[in-house]
């Protein structure tokens, strides 16, 4: 079953306007890109989906579990924008520590950390101190940490920020291999060209409201016919955003 947000409202403070207002959303199967400008509410949506924040109204559920429950958080993994290298720890130790925080015993977390690092193609860096890893490698440690406890939903908040084109390509291929029928991946980005054409689904969020959600093919169909392939995602995003602004 997918994560479902049902009429969720959230604001950062009682006197602040809501970032999300009665928003309903179901995380699709496979790999979904969550597009939107900075300040659109993408990080807030992911925090609600991860159970890191709770809505003031509405509810978030997964297979009958509420997002406040420990069982829910064990099945959902969240990778925030900033991945911090833990001083003195190796990549394997950092990933294992995350597993322990998720309720795994020490032995299981250590074994699972090795498997998670292999999944993100960092097995050869398992014993390297995280402070010596490159930015792209540290991001992959973040993904391994999210995968260590066998989560069925992976939530990634702007994971390619600061990566060069080569690093982005490596990360893109990694996410596509992880997104399966068993693991749903929802990745936020403000970069329209960031994986949009290779994702299974696209959701566009603007000013806390969903402009579009559907298959990548349906999203790209919003681009004018004369637009070349390399710019279709950008053109589709512009069309969707403008149509929402005019209708709103």
What pLDDT sits at residue 209? 92
Which residues touch 41 (CB under 8 Å, ≥6 apart)? 19, 20, 23, 205, 207, 208
Q: What domains appear along the chain, each with residue ranges and CATH number?
A: 3-247 (3.40.50.300)
What pLDDT sits at residue 85? 86
Q: Can you read off the two tokens belonging to residue 180?
A: 């399966």
What pLDDT sits at residue 82? 80
What pLDDT sits at residue 242? 73
What pLDDT sits at residue 221? 92
DSSP bridge pairs for 62: 3, 65
Average of pLDDT values for 222-247?
Answer: 81
The predicted model scores a pTM of: 0.87
Beta strand 20-26 with 3-10 is: antiparallel
Interval 106-155: pLDDT, tens: 999 999 999 999 988 899 999 999 999 988 888 889 888 988 887 889 99
């Amino acid at each position: 079953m997918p994560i479902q947000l049902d009429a969720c409202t959230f604001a950062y403070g009682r006197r602040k306007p809501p970032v999300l207002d009665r928003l309903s959303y179901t995380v699709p199967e496979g790999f979904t890109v969550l597009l939107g400008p900075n300040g659109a509410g993408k990080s807030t949506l992911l925090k609600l989906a991860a159970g890191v924040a709770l809505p003031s109204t509405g509810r978030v559920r997964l297979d009958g579990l509420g997002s406040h429950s420990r069982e829910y958080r064990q099945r959902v993994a969240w990778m925030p924008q900033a991945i911090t290298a833990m001083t003195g720890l190796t990549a394997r130790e950092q990933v294992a520590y995350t597993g322990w925080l998720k309720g795994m015993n020490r032995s299981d977390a250590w074994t699972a950390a090795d498997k998670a690092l292999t999944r993100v193609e960092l097995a050869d860096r398992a014993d390297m101190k995280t402070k010596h890893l490159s930015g792209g490698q540290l991001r992959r440690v973040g993904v391994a940490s999210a995968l260590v406890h066998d989560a069925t939903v992976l939530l990634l908040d702007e994971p390619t920020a600061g990566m060069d084109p080569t690093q982005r390509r490596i990360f893109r291929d990694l996410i596509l291999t992880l997104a399966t029928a068993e693991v749903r991946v929802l990745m936020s980005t403000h970069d329209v060209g960031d994986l949009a054409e290779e994702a299974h689904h696209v959701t566009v969020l603007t000013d806390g409201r969903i402009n579009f959600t559907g298959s990548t093919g349906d999203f790209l169909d919003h681009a004018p016919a004369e637009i070349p392939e390399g710019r279709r995602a950008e053109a589709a995003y512009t069309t969707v955003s403008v149509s929402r602004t005019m209708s709103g």
